[in-house]
């Protein structure tokens, strides 16, 4: 088994070429190429992350629209089909249209930038386990504020190893 760290489009390309068996991504399912399909691997609540000394750290009341003047830090999503696009779409439902956005190439750099006071972010709660001192994690009450991590395979997948992996992954969710 070999693991490969690749962006969404590279995963799509490699899956379609047959050089990758399974992809992992948080994507809009309606942006998936026709010959690929998703399988839910996990679902996480989205949380608001900010420096623990931020003026709203103790007073944020859950109103996303109150954050519109804040600087946000998100993962680059040049194709508009991944985690950042999903989060921004959800935010628009609650009248939050961030105007000041910094996009970074690595999800893992976001907590450090938040701890340094560069900005705030909305990320899957599972990532807060990797967090660091100086960051406050605030739950978002809106029911829609969640993100699905999907396994991606070819529609016509026949590999017994891949099918077995999918079965095992489904059992982990129970």
User: Positive or negative, the Cα torsion across 164, 124, 107, 90?
Assistant: positive
pLDDT in tens, the chain (174 residues): 788 888 888 999 999 999 999 999 988 777 889 999 999 998 999 999 999 999 999 999 999 999 999 999 999 988 888 899 999 999 999 999 998 999 999 888 999 999 999 999 999 998 877 667 899 999 998 989 999 999 999 999 999 999 999 999 888 876
In a domain, 1, yes or no: no
In a domain, 2, yes or no: no
**pLDDT for res 97:** 92
How far apart CA 140 and CA 70 sit, in angstroms, is: 16
**pLDDT for res 174:** 60
The residues pairing with 72 across neighbouring beta strands, listed in sequence order, are: 101, 120
Count of structural domains within the chain: 1
- Per this entry, what is the length of the chain? 174
What six digits make up the tokens of 66? 């109150």
The residue segments making up the domain with residue 149 are 7-174
Query: Which is nearest to 18 in space by CA: 157, 161, 151?
Result: 157
In a domain, 85, yes or no: yes
In a domain, 81, yes or no: yes
CATH code at position 39: 3.40.190.290
How far apart CA 76 and CA 107 sit, in angstroms, is: 9
**pLDDT for res 130:** 67
In a domain, 40, yes or no: yes
**pLDDT for res 129:** 76
């Amino acid at each position: 088994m070999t693991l490969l760290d690749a962006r969404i489009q590279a995963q799509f390309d490699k899956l379609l070429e047959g050089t990758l068996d399974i992809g992992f991504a948080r994507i809009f399912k309606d942006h998936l190429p026709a010959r690929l399909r998703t399988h839910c691997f996990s679902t996480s609540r989205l949380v608001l992350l900010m420096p623990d000394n931020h003026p709203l750290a103790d007073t944020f009341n859950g109103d996303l629209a109150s954050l519109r003047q804040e600087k946000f830090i998100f993962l680059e999503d040049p194709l508009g089909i991944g985690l950042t696009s999903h989060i921004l779409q959800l935010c628009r439902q609650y009248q939050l249209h961030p105007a000041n956005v910094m996009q970074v190439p690595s999800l893992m750099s976001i907590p450090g930038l938040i701890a340094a006071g560069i900005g705030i972010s909305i990320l899957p709660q599972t990532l807060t386990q990797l967090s660091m001192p100086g960051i406050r994690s605030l739950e978002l009450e809106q029911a829609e504020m969640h993100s699905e991590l999907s396994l991606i395979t070819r529609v016509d997948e026949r590999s017994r190893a891949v099918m077995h992996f999918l079965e095992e992954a489904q059992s982990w969710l129970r």
